[in-house]
């Protein structure tokens, strides 16, 4: 039996009593999946995992993605996307600027990711307190809180999600190489419903984000722009947010349909941050 302790926020729960390095029974795994669907973000503390174990546990959720930023993956493990500010031999070992705007992972793909599994290896500290928190916003809570007139207005609308919008606007955007032709080919602009139905829970989610949603389809000019601005502000209102303070050994799973997330870059070398992420393949939004 798992012990599940919800946070005080609109989403998120800690799961206790699980060692993810073990080969978990199906019943245990199914309880974890049920909690993941219910709480949208779940985390386990004090895990010690080798890359193979991280990948093996992640695979139980489905096939894993290999990120288009190949240079950010852990050598020998194309499924492990590294998020880190660490420099080795003059070279960044991972993405130094992931998640600096609200987004969900791979929302710019035809089939956005189902969920991401994030493992904290090194957490920056100052005066005994962790830095580099991550914020999560519940897209189901955001949708539910919309006035019914707005729900009606956006029920059938789609929005354009664009990888290049996010790619080029980061803190270190000057440091990122221009997208290669192959990366561009893999990430054409894509339309998704603004109100997305969760494929497992059937709940409605507000599926727009500041990072990658570039415009409302079929609503040009001022009207579309102001509607998108309004929805983006609403989606990340503090009522819908859980803020995760990392500890070394945390293993956290977020749902890329029912949540979006934001990294807080309030640290710098020599404070080191080293996280590794697997990304589970998802299905086309409807």
Alpha helices in the chain (DSSP H): 26-39, 51-59, 139-144, 148-154, 163-167, 181-186, 221-235
263 binds, among Mn ion, ligand OGA, none (CB under 5 to 8 A by kind): ligand OGA
Binding segment for ligand OGA (CB under 6 A), chosen from 45-53, 97-105, 203-211, 220-228, is 97-105
Minimum separation from the CB atom of position 96 to ligand OGA (A): 10
Minimum separation from the CB atom of position 277 to ligand OGA (A): 5
- Closer CB to ligand OGA, residue 158 or residue 277? 277
The secondary structure of 251-265 as a DSSP string is EEEEETTTEEEEE--
Residue reference for tokens 């207005």: 153
Is position 263 an interface residue for ligand OGA (rule: CB under 6 A)? yes
For the record, the structure tokens of 182 come out as 């192959």
Give the nearest residue (CB) to ligand OGA: 99
Residues that bind ligand OGA (rule: CB under 6 A) add up to a total of 10
First to last CA, the chain: 34
Residue reference for tokens 């589970």: 280
Is position 99 an interface residue for Mn ion (rule: CB under 5 A)? yes
47 binds, among ligand OGA, Mn ion, none (CB under 5 to 8 A by kind): none
Please provide the size of the chain in residues. Answer: 286
Which residues belong to the active site?
103, 105, 261, 277
Alpha helices in 67-127 (DSSP H): none
For the record, the structure tokens of 136 come out as 């999560």
Q: Contact positions toward ligand OGA, by CB under 6 A?
A: 83, 98-99, 105, 116, 134, 261, 263, 275, 277
Q: Contact positions toward Mn ion, by CB under 5 A?
A: 99, 105
């Amino acid at each position: 039996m798992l012990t599940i302790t919800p946070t005080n926020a609109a989403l998120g729960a800690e799961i206790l009593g699980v060692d993810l390095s073990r080969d978990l029974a199906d019943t245990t795994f199914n309880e974890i999946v049920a909690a993941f669907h219910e709480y949208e973000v779940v985390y386990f503390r004090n895990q010690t995992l080798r890359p193979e174990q991280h990948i093996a546990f992640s695979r139980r959720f489905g096939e894993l993605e290999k990120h288009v930023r190949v240079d950010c993956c852990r050598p020998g493990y194309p499924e492990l996307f590294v998020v880190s500010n660490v420099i080795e031999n003059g070279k960044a070992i991972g993405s130094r600027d992931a998640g600096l705007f609200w987004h969900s992972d791979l929302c710019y793909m035809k089939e956005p990711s189902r969920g991401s599994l994030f493992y904290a290896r090194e957490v920056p500290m100052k005066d005994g307190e962790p830095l580099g928190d991550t914020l999560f916003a519940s897209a189901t809570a955001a949708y539910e809180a919309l006035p019914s007139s707005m729900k009606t207005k956006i029920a059938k609308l789609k929005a354009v999600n664009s990888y290049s919008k996010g790619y080029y606007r980061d803190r270190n955007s000057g440091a990122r190489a221009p997208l290669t032709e192959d990366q561009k080919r893999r990430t054409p602009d894509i339309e998704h419903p603004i109100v997305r139905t969760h494929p497992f829970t059937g709940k409605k989610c507000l599926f727009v984000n500041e990072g990658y949603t570039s415009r409302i389809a079929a609503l040009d000019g001022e009207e579309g722009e102001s509607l998108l601005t309004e929805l983006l502000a609403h989606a990340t209102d503090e009522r819908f947010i859980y803020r995760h303070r990392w500890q070394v050994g945390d293993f956290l799973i977020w749902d890329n349909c029912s949540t979006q997330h934001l990294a807080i870059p309030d640290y710098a070398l020599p404070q080191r941050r080293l996280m590794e992420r697997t990304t589970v393949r998802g299905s086309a939004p409807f």
